[in-house]
Structure 1
Amino acid sequence: MSTAAATVLAYLPSPDRGVWYLGPVPIRAYALCIIAGIIVAVVWGERRIVARGGPAGAVTDIAVWAVPFGLVGGRLYHVITDWQTYFGPGGNPISALYIWQGGLGIWGAVALGAVGAWIGCRRRNIPLPFFADAVAPGIVVAQAIGRLGNWFNQELYGAPTTVPWGLEIYRRVDPSTGIADPLGGVAIDHTAIEIVHPTFLYELLWNLLVAAVVVFADRRFRLGHGRAFALYVAGYTLGRFWIEQMRTDFATRVFGDLRVNVVVSAVVFVGAVLYMVIVRKPREELAPPPEADDSADADADPSSVDLSKGEPEPSLAGKSAEPEPDAERSP
């Protein structure tokens, strides 16, 4: 087999479509990837927050607020930074609402998602930095899973290339009309019209590496007060800075010819690093409420506990609380 043939066989294929139909209902791969990422982030965050003394179910409760806020924020950031696509000459303003066609800006999702998380944390009496540290690695893994949606949509790729892992791009059409439809169409002919850098794959792999680094550093250095989250932000922006410059899709340009997300990544990276350098507090833990014991805390003020509301919420402590001897006995 010739070297040229071996190289061609090594190219990565694209899916022939990104949408399937269950009767009249469209099943979109992009949406499924986003949902799968959210589930992974919630499940993993739940395990991490419980391991730190947090109450079971807290991440799910907070996610009810954070996820919708994050989706809206992500879409707003995308529309604002690529406003010409929707509001410029030939644009369709209504398509700004078509979130299923792709387009979620991570910094809008993080910013507005943090507002939703803050609301949820206040309702559960959990400090926001504590929550952010617990969910940090799950968020970046969710981003990695979400990048698979770009693969199905055949979007956000790089320049033409001859590297063996180049991505094949197919011409997709509406099967009923034959009209080109890159997002909702089907690739009838699997002959590649272009071989490009799979920047979605580069970012996916980078995100998984960042998740591993966050988990390792969090265990090794017991990061707290938002530093694990800041490490995730710094790691992600470091990779996004160079991957963004490889992409060839349309993007708003600032400061001459810089893509806006390159500038944002640089600014956010500096902010995240400064936060990690300045904040030096030890990791906080949530101490679970003590079990009821008639012989313990004889001098405690009984009015401080409202029995009608069940057990009090966990309290914040500077380190893991050692259990009292009476708390280890069964009541």
Structure 2
Amino acid sequence: MLVAALNPIALQLGPLEIHWYGVIIATGVVLAVILAMRESERRGVSSDDLFDMILWALPFTLIGARLYYILFELPYYLAHPGEMIAIWHGGIAIYGGLIAAAIVFIVFCHRRQLPTWLVLDIAAPCVILGQAIGRWGNFMNQEAFGAKTTLAFLQQLHLPHFIVSQMLINGAYRQPTFLYESTWDLLGFIVIMALRHRKQLLRQGEVFLLYISWYAFGRFFVEGMRTDSLWLFHVIRVSQMLSLILFVGAIGLWVYRRRQRPQPPLYLAAQPQQTKQAKER
């Protein structure tokens, strides 16, 4: 039995349409900000500094996500330059947003004399949680899906009926790759949060590197299942290539930093008073 797809519009006020995609993304951002600010106070990073950093990062994240997409679809946008700003027509890439946000964080930490690795550690699990939530915006828009599959296959996954129904796209059932990535991100959040507060385990910078390696590993395989990938020279999926680079780079940097003498301080060693004194010096 065919069931109508969920309405992607959450609320309509005259000509103004509020889409579920935006509501879900905003929910993920707000929750991530709250968690980051709570942890920042425990680790001695001013919540005011962190909030200022987030205010700077958010617009650049959106710009970076759009520019990344445009870069790998350049022939189309050169032929249709007016579409470059038409973000409401779709076309953003999460990797572009993450790269832009990381650059803003690093520059901001340098200017405010904040411990860069520690700030990235604070943000990492919050970001992956936001990503897990944000993928449900793709679900509401019926995008970021995989190849054709069968109703029987989806039912074997024991998915709720509303998910199975929403995966009926253009007359064919699709692999719910949004769900695979969301689940992987949520599991990553749980693992990172469980390990982050284990005494004598992670050093500053390693929470962030754990996030990078975890997300890149999962994204590599999920990207291989999607049908809307950006391609480089029609040879390799861009996100798979970047995922491989990030995974190898994160693991390599982790090993390199562990071999340094002296080693970076432990993540839990950052206490409010200690961080404040370090900043004043």
TM-score (norm 1): 0.71
Say if 2:277 is the partner of 1:315.
Answer: yes
- Runs of 4 or more above 4 Å deviation: 284-287
Alignment correspondent of 1:81 = 72
Within 1, Cα distance between the matches of 2:197 and 2:227? 38
Secondary structure, counterpart of 2:149 in structure 1: coil
Alignment correspondent of 2:236 = 258
Q: Which structure features the higher share of helix residues?
A: 2
Secondary structure, counterpart of 1:110 in structure 2: helix
Secondary structure, counterpart of 2:278 in structure 1: strand
Within 1, Cα distance between the matches of 2:6 and 2:121? 35
Letter in 1 for 2:119: F
Alignment correspondent of 1:150 = 138
Within 2, Cα distance between the matches of 1:56 and 1:70? 20
Distance apart, 1:157 and its partner CA:
0.4
Name the CA shift for 1:102/1:140 in 2 (closer, same or farther; >3 Å).
farther
Task: Specify which of 235, 256, 271 is matched with residue 249 of structure 2.
Answer: 271
**Per-residue deviation, residues 205-254 of structure 1 (Å, max 9, x unmatched):** 11001111111222225423311111101000101001001011253244
Distance apart, 1:45 and its partner CA:
0.7
Equivalent positions of 1:1-331 (< 5 A) are 14-18=5-9, 20-87=11-78, 92-162=80-150, 163=153, 164=155, 165=159, 166=164, 168-169=166-167, 193-220=171-198, 221-249=200-228, 251-254=230-233, 257-280=235-258, 281-283=264-266, 285-289=269-273, 314-316=276-278
Distance apart, 1:197 and its partner CA:
0.5
Distance apart, 1:289 and its partner CA:
4.8
Within 2, Cα distance between the matches of 1:315 and 1:115? 26
Contact 1:234–1:268 (Cα < 8 Å) also in 2? yes
Tell which deviates more after alignment, 112-121 or 209-218: 112-121
Distance apart, 1:141 and its partner CA:
0.7
Distance apart, 1:123 and its partner CA:
4.7
Structure 2 regions of 5+ residues with no counterpart? 259-263
Secondary structure, counterpart of 2:47 in structure 1: coil
Within 1, Cα distance between the matches of 2:9 and 2:232? 29
Name the CA shift for 1:73/1:63 in 2 (closer, same or farther; >3 Å).
same
Within 1, Cα distance between the matches of 2:223 and 2:229? 11
Distance apart, 1:67 and its partner CA:
1.5
Within 1, Cα distance between the matches of 2:224 and 2:76? 19
Within 2, Cα distance between the matches of 1:227 and 1:104? 28
Within 2, Cα distance between the matches of 1:79 and 1:268? 21
Within 1, Cα distance between the matches of 2:214 and 2:272? 32
Name the CA shift for 1:82/1:223 in 2 (closer, same or farther; >3 Å).
farther
Secondary structure, counterpart of 1:279 in structure 2: helix
Alignment correspondent of 2:261 = none
Tell which deviates more after alignment, 107-116 or 142-151: 107-116
Distance apart, 1:107 and its partner CA:
2.4
TM-score (norm 2): 0.83
Distance apart, 1:261 and its partner CA:
1.1
**Per-residue deviation, residues 107-163 of structure 1 (Å, max 9, x unmatched):** 221222122223432454311111000111000011111111111211110111121
Name the CA shift for 1:137/1:288 in 2 (closer, same or farther; >3 Å).
closer
Within 2, Cα distance between the matches of 1:267 and 1:253? 14
Distance apart, 1:314 and its partner CA:
1.0
Tell which deviates more after alignment, 130-139 or 62-71: 62-71
Bigger-Rg structure (1/2): 1
Letter in 2 for 1:42: V
Distance apart, 1:54 and its partner CA:
2.3
Within 1, Cα distance between the matches of 2:229 and 2:125? 30
Within 1, Cα distance between the matches of 2:276 and 2:73? 44
Secondary structure, counterpart of 2:225 in structure 1: coil
**Over aligned residues, Cα RMSD in angstroms?**
2.6
Distance apart, 1:77 and its partner CA:
1.0
Alignment correspondent of 1:183 = none
Distance apart, 1:169 and its partner CA:
4.7
Name the CA shift for 1:98/1:224 in 2 (closer, same or farther; >3 Å).
farther
Name the CA shift for 1:315/1:107 in 2 (closer, same or farther; >3 Å).
farther
